[in-house]
Amino acid sequence: MTAPVNGQKKGFRSLLVYFLIMAISLIIIFIMWASFGYIGPQFSIDVLEKQQETLREHYGLAPLTKSDDPALAQIPPSLREIQLKNNSNIDDIS
């Protein structure tokens, strides 16, 4: 076999440097993830609720009413008042 030319050595050396930088970056990301731990979706939900509460206070809006009714969750917010005011039930028609 023939010995690699200087240009090939530089190419391999720069490739090695790029892989080394990438490996170090991944190790740093893993260490940061391990130090913070898994936050989970509940953290995001809590932050969103706190932001909405703060904005409602800031702009003088009424507090958000929470409903545990799963049937009400199926109705779009723009139609909820109409549905609640409407006394007729679609199931009674059939």
Tens of pLDDT, residue by residue over 8-25, are: 777 888 999 999 999 999
Write down the pLDDT at residue 1: 56
Q: Is residue 57 part of a domain?
A: yes
Kindly state whether residues 51 and 30 are assigned to the same domain: no
In terms of domains, do 50 and 74 share one? Answer: yes
74 lies in which domain range?
Answer: 44-87
34 and 52 assigned to the same domain: no
**pLDDT for the residue 35:** 86
**CA-closest candidate to residue 67, choices 55, 81, 57:** 81
| Residue 94 counted as domain residue | no
pLDDT band per the 50, 70, 90 thresholds, residue 68: confident
For residue 82, pLDDT over 90 is answered with no
With a CB cutoff of 8 Å and minimum separation 6, the contacts of 5 are none
In a domain, 9, yes or no: yes
Q: Does residue 10 lie within any of the structural domains?
A: yes
Residues 48 and 83 both lie in one domain: yes
Assessment of whether the complete model's pTM goes beyond 0.75: no
Q: Is the dihedral of CA 29, 35, 36, 37 positive or negative?
A: positive
